[in-house]
Amino acid sequence: MTIAVLSGGTSFEREVSLRSGRRVAEALRARGHPVVTLDLDAQLVGALTEDRVEVVFLALHGKAGEDGSIQRMLDLLGVPYTGSDATASALAWDKSISKGVLRRDGIATPDWQVLSADAVREYGAGRALEQIAATLTFPVMVKPVQGGASLGVGRVDQREDLADAVMSTFHYHPAVLLERVVEGTEVAVSIVDGAPLPAVEIHAKEGAYDFAARYTHGATEFHVPARLDDTTAEACARAAMLAWDTLGCRHIMRADMMIDASGAPYLLEVDTCPGLTETSLLPLAARTAGLRFDQLCEQLVDLARATT
């Protein structure tokens, strides 16, 4: 039986996904597994059948791989796969929904508002932008409600620049999240099979931790474990685990958060199919915990096999 590494697709994150997929395929082959690499296209279902695929390793980033769509299809086909199920994936993929669910369960997340392109176009909601802005303390982050890799994300320091930022972000998704900026330390806490890995502290050398900083070697400085006192590190791990339980994640997850000056973590978003490239955060945390990349990939395959 064969392991299929599924990557690519048509999202803005296609190239990153292909990089993750290639690395995973190489690692699994090095462990002696028969592996095929598949793209997210019209031939996928036929290929899954013809290649007698036992497990699908999801290395997809972006909409189709993280919004629950591919997970539902694999469930229908009866093919096990790595990562969270369709429901948890869909919840985490929409930042507004996931933040609402997390806050309802007592997990701290920065205040936010949402504005959709439909509301602007059909209901004249653009006039309400000033009112929305008045409810937030600047600076704010402007993000696509759905999307990853910091694509379409920007910081707005002055109210008069907000409208242009919102219109620019609409190019990435027809709904925009306006989120209060938490100044402090940026960290990511990854979880594998219900166990938190060491937090990764992130320092982009120039500007923000954006798409270029994420995937360019040397553009970002990482500290693993993060330079946190024990109390703050435990609070971050606890917040990530609460998010894992609240959203119903399984196998693998990464929680991105900011720590304010008092040491309190604020959860920004959850990634149920995190990057697995050479510069990605989860593999870095796993290596620090003593888990080599090939071992991580094989562990995820074993978890998928055991999931009924």
What percent of the chain clears pLDDT 90, i.e. is strictly above it? 63
Predicted pLDDT at 162: 85
Spatial CA neighbour of 103 closest among 272, 195, 255, 239: 239
Q: What would the pLDDT profile of 287-308 be if each residue is shown by its tens digit?
A: 999 999 999 999 999 999 998 6
Q: Which segment of 58-72, 126-140, 167-181, 194-208 scores lowest on mean pLDDT?
A: 126-140
Is the confidence at residue 215, as pLDDT, over 70?
Answer: no
183, with CB counted inside 10 A (0-12, 13-18, 19+), is exposed
Q: What would the pLDDT profile of 245-280 be if each residue is shown by its tens digit?
A: 999 999 999 999 999 999 999 999 999 999 999 889
Predicted pLDDT at 25: 98
**39-52 burial code (b ≥16 CB/10 A, e <16):** bbeeebeeebeebe
Predicted pLDDT at 244: 98
CATH 3.30.1280.10 fits 91-108+183-290, yes or no: no
Sign of CA dihedral 77, 249, 245, 63: negative
Predicted pLDDT at 217: 63
* Tokens, residue 39: 């793209």
Predicted pLDDT at 190: 98
What percent of the chain clears pLDDT 70, i.e. is strictly above it? 90
Distance CA 254, CA 252 (A): 7
Is the confidence at residue 14, as pLDDT, over 70?
Answer: yes
Is the confidence at residue 65, as pLDDT, over 90?
Answer: no
Determine the average pLDDT of the residues in 223-252: 96
Q: Which CATH superfamily is domain 112-180 in?
A: ATP-grasp fold, A domain (3.30.1490.20)
Predicted pLDDT at 277: 92
Q: What is the CA radius of gyration of the chain?
A: 19
Distance CA 278, CA 8 (A): 17
Of residues 133 and 298, the one with the higher pLDDT is: 298
Determine the average pLDDT of the residues in 52-74: 91
Mapping DSSP onto H, E and C, the string for the chain reads CEEEEEECCCCCCHHHHHHHHHHHHHHHHHCCCCEEEEECCCCHHHHHHHCCEEEEEECCCCHHHHCCHHHHHHHHHCCCECCCCHHHHHHHHEHHHHHHHHHHCCCCCCCEEEEEHHHHHHHCHHHHHHHHHHHCCCCEEEEECECCCCCCCEEECCHHHHHHHHHHHCCCCCEEEEEECCCCEEEEEEEECCEECCCEEEEECCCCCCHHHHHCCCCEEEECCCCCCHHHHHHHHHHHHHHHHHHCCCCEEEEEEEECCCCCEEEEEEECCCCCCCCCHHHHHHHHCCCCHHHHHHHHHHHHHHCC
Confidence of residue 119 (pLDDT cuts 50, 70, 90): low
Question: Going by C-beta distance under 8 Å and a sequence separation of 6 or more, which residues neighbour residue 139?
Answer: 155, 156, 157, 181
Confidence of residue 182 (pLDDT cuts 50, 70, 90): very high
Domain ranges of the chain: 2-83, 91-108+183-290, 112-180
Is the confidence at residue 45, as pLDDT, over 80?
Answer: yes
Determine the average pLDDT of the residues in 31-60: 92
Determine the average pLDDT of the residues in 176-188: 93
pTM confidence score: 0.90
Is the confidence at residue 211, as pLDDT, over 70?
Answer: no
Is the confidence at residue 78, as pLDDT, over 70?
Answer: yes
β-bridge mates for residue 190, sequence order: 254
Cβ–Cβ under 8 Å, residues 64 and 89: no
Cβ–Cβ under 8 Å, residues 251 and 192: yes
Taking CA atoms, 232 is separated from 129, 135, 138, 294, in Å, by: 36, 29, 26, 31
Residue 57, sorted as left (phi over 0), alpha (psi -120 to 50) or beta, turns out to be beta
Is the confidence at residue 149, as pLDDT, over 60?
Answer: no
Determine the average pLDDT of the residues in 64-73: 90
Predicted pLDDT at 60: 94
Sign of CA dihedral 219, 223, 224, 228: negative
Cβ–Cβ under 8 Å, residues 71 and 84: yes
Tell me the CATH number of domain 2-83, given options 1.10.340.30, 3.40.190.10, 3.40.50.20, 1.10.510.10. Answer: 3.40.50.20
Confidence of residue 10 (pLDDT cuts 50, 70, 90): confident
Mean pLDDT (the chain, rounded)? 89
